[in-house]
Structures are given as structure tokens and as C-alpha cells.
Amino acid sequence: MASLDDLKKRIASVKSTQKITKAMKMVAAAKLRRAQESAEKGRPYSEKMNNVILNLSNGISDKENAPKLLSGTGEEKTHLCVVMTSDRGLCGGFNSNIIKKAKSYFAKILDEGKELKIITVGSKGNDQLKRVYGDKIIENISFKESKNANYFDADKVGKMVIEKFEAGEFDVCTIFYNQFKNVITQIPQAQQIIPLNNEGEENSSEESYEFEPDEDEILSNLLPKNISTQIFKAMLENSASEQGSRMSAMDNATRNAGEMVDKLTIEYNRSRQAAITKELIEIISGAESL
Amino acid sequence: MSEEFKVEIVNPEKSFLVKDDVSEVVVPAFEGEMGILKDHISIISFLKPGIIKILSKSGDENYYVEDGIVEFKNNNLSILTSTIFNLADMDKSKQQDLLKQAEEEANKTDINDQSKYLADQKVEVLKTLN
């Protein structure tokens, strides 16, 4: 059994850990509110963008010559995966969930004999993937300096993806991120952004639009923007998810630490009493023997 | 009802502006300025750098945009843009900063014709502001 002194030290250390996790939880809660707000504010833009593109692609007359970003290269040989994770740890299963989802997708791709290229956004994803898929990672981006997700960063990633697409480095692009549902639930998502996947979204109106200039030109201008927008949306969802996930993880940690302190305190009191009883017995039996 | 319609400007971060008492909007469409009144035909177009003029009962407003898409449908005008500033909030130093950036961009030699054209447009518009 541990000595009284040891127990005392352990109680103190667990208590200070609890203080840290509690503080982290509070910080995450405050950040979560902001992140959630900006995720909600960012939704109209990406929704409207999607709508316009949907209308445009329905209106396009010549499907054969549609921009490659919309219709794809006609092949599915090389897959590019953009895995978006956080730069900081201690956020529960947030990163592992994305990685798990991504890894199962990678395995599928490789099983089919296709080529795989990976771009990681956020250092935690890179850390976890480089052990197994190190040779497949072509780019690693991290926005440690930026406090909040901003469009400028997303645009940088988007431009890079488009550049690589135009250079013919891949045929299909998928992004992985966590969709924020609520504080305890975040759903890892795999979203294909090149070629654009519009199936199952047949709710567009029959109304015809006037286009100026023509559809093709607008589309070729719009599609690169859409890539950045989708990536930005993923970043916003991700940052809200990260804070939510961290908040619930830290909440659990705080509670566990509390339980541990209680248990240790009981143990401490028991052994203190045992020591007193032992001393008393010694004194009494000493007195009796006289 | 009168000749009013609704305009909504969104940028990636948030819904920038919503107004529903607008009588006319002038947008710098790619092929020239375009005025939109109520009951305009449904249209999709994209923007070049320029000034969006919003005329409404509660007063006129001017915004500087660098790019964007406009969609008009059922008397709803949506403008999607990544860079937008209200001219009323824009002071001289901000204008100068933007102008400097635009000039640098326009003077690059390794860009294609379209981005060169856009950068030139930016410079022109910003110069007229001063």
C-alpha cells in the first residue's frame, strides 16, 4: 500500500490536472460558440453557390465539352484525397475519426489498383498518416498561425488543388472532414469535389435563365471558386467540430479526475486511520504489559 | 405593391447585407455595367471589379467588389462575392492599400490575359474612387 505521503502527492497532482482540463473545457466552449456561429453564417454562401452551379449545369447544352472540373477527365485512375484535421490534440476522437474514415477509403482505392495521392491539412492528420501512407503524401499544409478559419486560407488550398488538376496529376478529388452536428456528435464526411457530384439533388427548378456571358464561360469561372468554397465550408465545419469534440472530451476528463480524487481521498483517510489505530494498539498493549 | 425587390449579398464568412426595399441595383457585370429593376428576367452573370450601386428608399449605397456572381430570380437578387467593402466605411488609406496591391498584380508579367485584365480593371476602378 502506498504511503500517506505518496497518496497526498497523487491527490495534488490529479487535482491540478483537473484544473487544466476544466480550463480547457471552458476555453473550448467559448471558442465553440464562435466557430458554430461562423459555420452557420458561412452556410448561405456555399448553398447559393451550389444552387447556381446546379442551375448552370442543367442549362448547359453541350455535355461533351463541359468543363473538366464538372464532368471529370473521363478516367478514375488517380485519386487525390484532402484530409482535413486539426493542428492541436486533446480533442477526443476528432482526428482519429477522420483518419479512420480516410484510411478505409484509401484501402478501397488501393485494392482497386488505383493510384493514391494525399494532401493533409492540419498537422495532426499528417502525424497519423505518415507512418503508413508517408510515400503517398504529396503536400502538407498547416494553418497554425491563423486563429480562425478564413476564406483566404481555403482559397490557397483550393488553388493548389486546381493547379494540380490542370496539370493532370489526378482525376478524382475527395475531401475528408468532420461535419458538425452537435457538441457530442460529429460525423466524418467524405465529399467528392472533382468531378462535381450532383446526383440525388434533382430539386432544381425548370426555370430558364439568361446567361451573360454564356454558360460555359460562367461555369469555367465559377467552378474553381466552388472548390475553394467547399473547402472553406469543410474548414468551418471542422473547426466547430474540433471545439465541440474537445469540449466533451475535456468535460469527461474533468469528471474522471473528480472521481479519481474522491477515490484517492477515501484511500488516504483509510490509511491515516489505520496508522492511528495501529499506534493506539501499540500504546495500549505496551501499557498492559507493565 | 411598389417597384421594389429584395437583394442579398453574401460573402463566405457571413450574409453581408439583406435589403428588401430596393428599387434598382447596378452591378459591374463582366460584359459591362448592368442595371437590374423589378421583374427582370432570371439571369446569372459574374462580376468584374467595380462598384455595386444599390438604390433604395432608405438611401443609396455603394459597394466596391473585386469578383462575384449575381443571380436574379423571382425578384430575388443574390450576389456572391469574396471581397466586398462598403464605400462609406472605406477610408483613404484602405483605398491606397488596395490600389497598391492591384497595381502590383497588374504589373506582374507571368499572369494570363484574363487575370491581367481583371487587375487592370481593379486599378482603374480604385483610381476613380480617389
Highest average pLDDT, of A20-29, A155-164, B51-60, comes from A20-29
pLDDT band at B121 (very low <50, low <70, confident <90, very high): confident
Greater confidence (A200 vs A235) lies with A235
Let me know whether B33 and B80 are in one domain.
yes
- Section A232-239 average pLDDT: 89
Let me know whether B16 and B39 are in one domain.
yes
Q: At what angle do helices A215-288 and A151-166 cross, to 10 degrees?
A: 120
Query: CB A9: neighbour CB atoms within 10 A?
Result: 12
Q: Which range is least confidently modeled, A63-72, A84-93, A140-149, A220-229? A: A63-72
Does the pLDDT value for residue A204 go beyond 60? no
Give contacts of A51 with chain B, Cβ < 8 Å. 71
Question: What's the pLDDT score for residue A199?
Answer: 52
Question: What's the pLDDT score for residue A39?
Answer: 87
Question: What's the pLDDT score for residue A198?
Answer: 60
Which residue out of A91, A102, A116, A175 is catalytically annotated? A91
Let me know whether B26 and B81 are in one domain.
yes
- C-alpha A268/C-alpha A262 separation (Å) is 10
Let me know whether B44 and B98 are in one domain.
no
Let me know whether B98 and B81 are in one domain.
no
Where do we find the cell 476528432?
Answer: A94
Question: What's the pLDDT score for residue A26?
Answer: 94
Last residue of a domain, one of B54, B71, B86: B86
Give contacts of B41 with chain A, Cβ < 8 Å. 210
Let me know whether B48 and B100 are in one domain.
no
Tell whether A41 lies on the interface with B, counting CB pairs under 8 A. yes
Let me know whether B95 and B49 are in one domain.
no
Contacts 24+ apart (CB under 8 A), B56-61: B56/B4, B56/B19, B56/B21, B56/B22, B56/B23, B57/B4, B57/B21, B57/B23, B58/B19, B58/B21, B61/B86, B61/B87, B61/B88
* Cross-chain Cβ contact A210/B69 below 8 Å: no
Does the pLDDT value for residue A65 go beyond 70? no
- Section A282-290 average pLDDT: 92
pLDDT band at A280 (very low <50, low <70, confident <90, very high): very high
Tell whether B118 lies on the interface with A, counting CB pairs under 8 A. no
Question: What's the pLDDT score for residue B1?
Answer: 53
Does the pLDDT value for residue A136 go beyond 80? yes
Does the pLDDT value for residue A287 go beyond 60? yes
B39-86: per-residue pLDDT in tens? 888 888 888 888 899 998 888 888 888 888 898 888 889 998 888 888
CATH number at B36 reads: 2.60.15.10
Let me know whether B53 and B27 are in one domain.
yes
Nearest C-alpha in B relative to A155: B82
Let me know whether B48 and B103 are in one domain.
no
Q: Give the domain range for residue B31.
A: 5-86
Give contacts of B44 with chain A, Cβ < 8 Å. 52, 55-56, 209-212, 218
Let me know whether B50 and B105 are in one domain.
no
- Section A3-19 average pLDDT: 93
- Section A164-181 average pLDDT: 90
**CATH entry, A25-249, from 1.10.760.10, 3.40.50.300, 3.40.980.10, 3.40.1380.10:** 3.40.1380.10
Compute CA distances A197 → A71, A73, A172, A193, A203, whole Å: 9, 14, 11, 7, 14
Does the pLDDT value for residue A200 go beyond 50? no
Catalytic residue status for A91:
yes
Task: Please give the sequence-ordered ranges of beta strands (E in DSSP) within chain A, or none if there are none.
Answer: 78-84, 115-121, 137-141, 172-180, 186-194, 210-212
Tell whether A270 lies on the interface with B, counting CB pairs under 8 A. no
Pairing of strands B68-73, A78-84: unpaired
- Global pTM value: 0.84
Domain ranges of chain A: 4-21+250-284, 25-249
Does the pLDDT value for residue A71 go beyond 80? no
Let me know whether B47 and B23 are in one domain.
yes
Question: What's the pLDDT score for residue B66?
Answer: 85
Does the pLDDT value for residue A79 go beyond 70? yes
- At B121, the amino acid letter reads Q
Average pLDDT of chain A, as a whole number = 86
Give contacts of B43 with chain A, Cβ < 8 Å. 209-212
The number of C-beta contacts closer than 8 angstroms across A and B is 73
- 3-state secondary structure string, A38-74? HHHHHHHHHHHHHHHHHHHHHHCCCCCCCCHHHHCCC
Let me know whether B101 and B77 are in one domain.
no
pLDDT band at A63 (very low <50, low <70, confident <90, very high): low
**CB-CB contact of A112 with A73 (8 Å):** no
Q: Which range is least confidently modeled, A202-211, A280-289, B43-52? A: A202-211
Question: What's the pLDDT score for residue A206?
Answer: 55
Question: What's the pLDDT score for residue B2?
Answer: 67
Question: How many domains does chain B contain in total?
Answer: 2
